[in-house]
Chains A and B, each alone.
Chain A
């Protein structure tokens, strides 16, 4: 049984929003760490 193609725009929006929800704090954490790491090259 193969997955049906998912062309529902609301579903795609939900996927995008859910990814945004998890990637935003992760990006903030990575940025905070990068700023700290820059001290090594300062």
Chain B
């Protein structure tokens, strides 16, 4: 009898609705998306000893900044190195391990707060929680693509939209919990970590228990694979290790990295940027509202654009991101100088929707190019582009801003050059995307390759 976590145990029985798979994925992504709301803990964590104000022995913001950075680094590493394991053991075990790591990371971090040991926060939320983030992020992707061969983009968009939405739940939930636990002797962070660790573990566990994989050869009712072959959508499969030997992998890596770099750099500076460009007319509260609005478009774009890519085609969708994005970035300085805040906000919102769309459309693009068999693992390896962009984007924006101010440029105009550089990055992404062609058949897996792995043939693969 196969083990509780084995792939064989979670093959769907007749009558299972494929519409149960997206909420199972969302149960995980809505939790791990909390990572982007971790900054709400920064200020209270600097007052663990002093409570009302920072004491001499309290942690500094510079020390605390490493917690999030470590989490993102380990997200990238675990997604890259855990992808192959994911394909072997299946989504249930991967989601369960992700739940243990992410929930357990909160518990270790809570212990770190209690003992006032910053190392335990680095280890708990940063390293172990980061591994949970990476495994949780990639675990449902290939399963969703297999359940929705007719709407790959929409399926992955639903899950990855959850990652964007997770921060929207995590931030107010954290603030509310800290308010409940705050007392004369506690800022409420430790107790909040305990509760959130438990909540997130349970929710991710529900996802792990609910997820099912389709039986071999399964197809949606009434759907047959298109007869007229689209050259950009293969029905073959490329092994995860072989994918790294193709130029397509590196071009797609560039596509993701450049799209994310352009968005992530300005996202981190959005609040300061709008206040400096429209000095006197934007309050800090309004600037926070601007950031909230961008988050909404970021999340909505994840679903909208990846769903649209099912009709537009993946390559065309990225062409739109890069071409339209470059034009929008180049237009922003003009709107800023004209004092047209409404247009400024609208342009940014559109850019953020395409930034989010870049994340959610890439798994379907990978499935089109490399096939569905190893798409989860290949996606994990491609996420190193995200980690790289996480460093490149903010460094580029901050460095350019400081350089321009050092050259005597007014603060309100200091972002203009940055916008043009971002437009340039997107044009480079356009060229990389344009160069993507179908993978050469020498990289495709042969019949015997599947036997060497686990003897399981991918859905719709009977002819191989």
Contact = CB atoms under 8 A, between A and B. Distances in A.
Interface in A6-24: 6, 8, 11-12, 14-15, 18-19, 21-22
B33 to A, nearest CB: 9
Interface residues of A, number: 30
B168 A26 contact: yes
Contact of B296 (A12, A14, A34, A41): A34
B169 A28 contact: yes
User: Of residues B27, B221, B289, B290, which shows the largest number of chain A Cβ atoms within 10 Å of its Cβ?
Assistant: B289
B406 interface: no
A42 B282 CA distance: 10
A11 B17 contact: yes
Nearest to A41: B289
Interface in B94-124: none
B4 to A, nearest CB: 20
Contacts of B362: none
Contacts of A42: 286, 289
B219 A39 contact: no
A26 B223 contact: no
B38 interface: no
Contacts of A37: 289-290, 292-293, 296
B222 A2 contact: yes
B17 A36 contact: no
B293 A22 contact: no
Interface string B254-289: 000000000000000000000000000011011111
Interface of A: 1-6, 8, 11-12, 14-15, 18-19, 21-22, 25-26, 28-30, 32-34, 36-42
13 contacts: A1-B218, A2-B223, A3-B218, A3-B220, A8-B15, A18-B20, A18-B210, A19-B23, A39-B286, A40-B287, A40-B289, A40-B293, A41-B289
Instruction: Give 6 closest A-B pairs by Cβ, nearest first.
Output: A29-B168, A40-B289, A39-B289, A29-B169, A37-B292, A36-B292
Given A1-B219, A39-B285, A40-B286, 10 more contacts: A2-B218, A2-B220, A14-B20, A19-B23, A21-B27, A22-B27, A26-B26, A39-B288, A39-B289, A42-B286
